[in-house]
Structure 1
Amino acid sequence: MDHQETELMLKGYGLTTAEFYYRMPDFRHVLNSFIWQDYDLAPDYPRLFRFVEFWQEQIEGPLHSVRFTHRKLIGPGEWRNMVGEFRLH
């Protein structure tokens, strides 16, 4: 795990996973899916909504629906920096 990811988690960020269902530009009756993951803040989800806006402005395939989940991996009270040494034999 990256040092920056740990700092984000300690600030309250959690892992957000979204599945985007979109229509193919040339075949409107075909649905395709795309998986997106990033660290985001619940309940506002600024990064997720920024990506949805990007999709609507830049991607030709119109969105059909978005399904997402959010999991807070650690919180500030759940993490402690431990320093120690264990000797065996």
Structure 2
Amino acid sequence: MPRSETELMLQGYGLTTAEMFYRLPDHQSILNSFVWQDYDLAPDYPKLFGFIEFWQDEIEGPLHSVRFTHRKLIGPGEWRNVVQEFYVH
């Protein structure tokens, strides 16, 4: 069952963005770029490295380089459930 983005963030996932530079199969001197984005766990990045392995196994364009950034948007200690309100006159 797919989890919502909020549930993923509360479990420690953060938004990971990777830019992959790869060579065209027929024109090795030309570099192209591809941007990949998903929620992933730092510092192991299982989804990112899984995608890189998939790329190397299944896609003809060889990777030149990969650069990525990770941003933890919300953490379990930063969110709290408010069940009561107080009014100040």
Q: 1:12-66: per-residue Cα shift (whole Å, max 9, x none)? A: 0000000000000110000000000000000000000000000001100000000
Query: What are structure 1's unaligned runs of at least 5 residues?
Result: none
The TM-score with structure 2 as length reference comes to: 0.88
Q: Secondary structure at the match of 2:55?
A: helix
Alignment-derived partner of residue 36 in structure 2: 36
Alignment-derived partner of residue 53 in structure 2: 53
Alpha-carbon distance, 1:84 to partner? 6.5
Alignment-derived partner of residue 81 in structure 1: 81
Runs of 4+ in 1 over 6 A off after TM superposition: none
The alignment yields a C-alpha RMSD, in angstroms, of: 1.4
Query: What are structure 2's unaligned runs of at least 5 residues?
Result: none
Count of residues paired in the alignment: 83
1:21 aligns with 2:21: yes
Alignment-derived partner of residue 69 in structure 1: 69
The TM-score with structure 1 as length reference comes to: 0.88
C-alpha distance in structure 2 between counterparts of 1:70 and 1:35, whole Å: 14
